[in-house]
Structure 1
Amino acid sequence: MRILLVEDDRPLATSLAEALAAQHYTVDVAEDGEVAWTQLETLPYDLALLDVTLPRLNGLSLCQRMRSRGYQSPVLMLTARDTSLDKVAGLDSGADVYMVKPFDLAELLAQIRALLRRGERGNSPLLRWGDLRLNPSTYEASYRDSPLRLTPKEFAILELLMQNGRRVLNRAFILESIWTLEEIPGEETVKAHVKALRQKLQKAGAGRNLIETVHGLGYRLRG
């Protein structure tokens, strides 16, 4: 899942981004509200983590703009302001959760998990494709009940393919969906990860072409 972290305190942004990446989230960081808005218009985010005090466009105004333009994904607001009026202002702007700095990291991660689960209500988190099973909530994948030991990027690629089924995904789309804006490598990286993923699927008993290459276009799952 992809998270937009909007925080102008660089040391805090770096530590938060590292903590979120360790939980297998793809994290993009913006240091002001206008840059964040540009990124929100460019990429789909599952959650936005906003500081209130930001250059150019503050967190409250950014959240209001997001809601007025139809942005439905959860928003968690972080701030050093802890009065009741500040909390009311944050929630009234459209935030789902308002947390005061300094905060406990474990509590923040729990709030993020809870917010992301809200979007899954009514839908089974388990993805299926033939004998292939993948659970995004527990980061578990298996083929015919044989566990697949995947790296975070391999897991993310497989999840993306299973979410899209027979739709062909080109390498540029996979890069933009899984890698952060700061770390996007060349398309050969996708090729290398898909090769490793195929080898692990074959070892578990899947056919060699379960992940099918559509020459000149990209990858999709074979039905």
Structure 2
Amino acid sequence: MCSQEPETLDHLFFGCSFSSGIWGAFSVGLGLQPSHSLLSVAGSISGNSALCGSAKGVLARLHFQVSIYQLWKERNSRIFTSTFASMASTRSVIDRTIRDRLLSFPAANVSSPSLLELYFLLLSPAMYERSAHLDHKVDMDELLDSIHQTQNEEELFAQLSSYKDRRLSIRFMVSLLSRENNWHKSLALLDWVHEEAKYTPSVFAFNMVSSKRVKS
């Protein structure tokens, strides 16, 4: 895609400046080393003890699969339709695809993060330290437990009233939504996010709650 070297598979997916830029945007937080071939990146995932059998390993494999697919799709688009996507837009498509896929994997229990929540944390691990939000000071498990104890929407809104000035980031709220398995409480929480706290409407959050309704 860079038109600088012969198009081998390894160059297309890893050596090309466009491809390496895509990998660099996602790999650091997942603990993946820079690779130059399909075999080396597959080996770095399967041979990494920190990834084998772990939630982080699931994210690494999903990231690998989605990125390879999207890079191949971009290559074909450039050849057959003369349509060129930017590196930023390709990253965005990969990110959105991964998030949408992770919606189908809820947290195993309230004390463990969902894959989506883990993805948010790994994607920007220093976000909570740098942010002006209170994310790193709020125990999500305790907040989730307090939400579970509410009996209706009014009680839920009252429980969250201290965060009404958007002191929690939208990422924190989406992670909270992903871990709330009760559809009615998820819907009430989404209403609070948009109507009470006045966060910018999130189609992603809406789709997450909708997916819970389908499963219920």
Name the one with the larger strand percent: 1
How high is the TM-score relative to the length of structure 1? 0.31
Name the one with the larger helix percent: 2
